[in-house]
Amino acid sequence: MNESEGTSGPAEEHVRPSGADDTTVEAVGALTEALETVERARGQLYGFHQLTGGADLTLDRAVELLRIGGHAEQADLVEREILGRNVVPGCWTFQLVEAYDDTYYRPFLEVEKRVRQELVGGRRHLYEAEMKEARRTQGHPDHTARP
């Protein structure tokens, strides 16, 4: 369907519900934007987790090569002081990831969803949908409201 066949505006899930004012739509948009930033931070945390774990596994090879090269004292030092070491007191990176997920990430997801549900009928990206509608050129084939 093209715009002249009844799709000239956004889909219903991207239309502001009755009673939602500009400030509310902007506030929910800001909350969702913050969640998107948390999603990126969580990805960085998983990257940190995987990179640190990979480095720890690479230490096995370093220790082995130090021993083969006749450097038992240095191999023992790396093995004793670094291999398997906590990244913060009492924790490996998987424990940091789990604590972040349980303490911050999941509650953030739940609160963002609840606020969206209560204030804009659960609609996602409403602020952006309105921005898209305001910025697109009506009738242009690459500015359609819907896919």
SS3 84: coil
- Cα dist from 51 to 45, 66, 74, 80, 133, whole Å: 10, 22, 23, 20, 42
Torsion of CA 99, 104, 110, 111, to 10 degrees: 160
Q: What is the pLDDT of residues 3-59, one digit of tens each?
A: 454 467 888 888 889 999 999 999 999 999 999 999 999 999 999 999 999 999 999
Q: What is the DSSP letter of 20?
A: -
SS3 28: helix
SS3 2: coil
Two tokens at 123?
């609609």
- Where are the chain's structural domains? 21-135
Q: What is the pLDDT of residues 100-128, one digit of tens each?
A: 999 999 999 999 999 999 999 999 999 99
pLDDT at residue 142 in the model: 92
Residue 123 and residue 14 in contact, taking contact as beta carbons nearer than 8 Å: yes
User: Does residue 2 carry a pLDDT above 90?
Assistant: no
